[in-house]
Amino acid sequence: NSELPGMFNKLVYSLRNLKHSQMVNVYYNIKNQRTKKFFEDALPLLKTDAGISLMRDVIKSGQLPEEIVNTWFSSLAFYKNPSRAMLTVLSTFIDHDAPHSALLGISGLASTFCTSNTNCIEIAEMKEVLTKFELLLGTSCETENQKEEDSMVLVLKGLRNIGQMIDSKDILKRCYQTKTNPMLVRVAVIETIRQWQLACHFSEDDEGLVELFKDKQEDSELRINAYLALMTCPTEKIIDNIKTLLKDEE
């Protein structure tokens, strides 16, 4: 047992040198379950294209416990130098049935990728990831039950992590304006707009957030978030509007 940590480190470093086909061959020929567990623990630590590809294969086979799957996806946020190939592989998980850990883990990895790549939104693999996230918003973030509501909030958090958008401005506006949407979803939309620091896209020549802040029938948390989003990138017109509104604010 005292030798296990050193042996495990050797395993990780050795696996980093293998191609995907070699790793597949090794993994599926392990008969001892304890040995296989060591291999599975090492897999998310490889941070290689081949490792990610095998993780995808194993997860999609459905033979892993949910706990390990969640751990694997969570580890993605700690990848320091994600590749375009990793984005291609991981984008296959972004759909309506994606585990919550997948949405957060993949968006975390995508955020790291954008940190290292200027104009990442112009890269085809990154554009594919963003497009799939935006498709999950539907036409106005509509949900029918608690499960869908929780997933929608996670999709919005994923977009917030990435900090980019392609074609979702109008959709996000409908999301926070649709009064039948759950309050949690509407607040999450505005928090995404605000934390993106892309509020300029929503404040310039767009009265949506101002109208939301002006409506005293709306929930106070929603109005406060609208105010904060507006003040992230205020124009002179917005400042004048806010001054007028605050005079009559209780």
Q: State the amino acid at position 153 in one-letter form.
A: V
Is the distance from CB of 58 to CB of 30 less than 8 angstroms?
no
| pLDDT at res. 49 | 96
Does pLDDT of 89 surpass 60? yes
Q: Are 100 and 150 in contact (CB under 8 A)?
A: yes
SS3 content of the chain, % helix, strand, coil (to 5): 70, 0, 30
Tokens of 210: 């101002």
DSSP tag of 233: S
Q: How confident is the model at residue 197 (pLDDT cuts 50, 70, 90)?
A: low
Section 182-194 average pLDDT? 93
Q: Take residue 43 and report the two structure tokens written for it.
A: 């897999």
**Helix axis angle, 20-28 to 49-61, nearest 10°:** 40
Which residues are CB-neighbours of 147 under 8 A, at least 6 positions away?
Answer: none
Specify the residue for token string 């296959």.
92
C-alpha separations of 99 from 18, 186, 201 in Å? 28, 22, 31
Q: Which pLDDT score is estimated for 81? A: 92
**What's residue 198's pLDDT?**
58
Please write the tens of the pLDDT for every residue from 45-61: 999 999 999 999 999 99
CA distance linking residue 124 with residue 193, whole number of Å: 24
User: Is residue 201 classed as helix, strand or coil in its secondary structure?
Assistant: helix
Contacts with 194 (C-beta within 8 Å, 6 or more apart), sequence order: 225, 228, 229, 232
Closest CA to 150 of 196, 109, 188: 188
- Mean pLDDT (the chain) is 91
Q: What is the pTM of this model?
A: 0.89
Which two tokens mark 245?
């509104």
pLDDT above 80 for 204: no
Using CA atoms, how far apart are residues 192 and 225, in angstroms rounded to an integer?
A: 10
Q: Which of 168, 66, 85 is nearest to 124 (CA)?
A: 85
- Chain segment 105-151, per-residue pLDDT in tens: 999 999 999 998 988 999 999 999 999 999 999 999 999 999 999 99
Report the range of poorest mean pLDDT among 29-43, 121-135, 232-246: 232-246
The pLDDT value recorded for residue 250 is: 80
Tokens of 221: 């948390």
| Mean pLDDT confidence for 37-50 | 94
Amino acid identity, residue 129? V
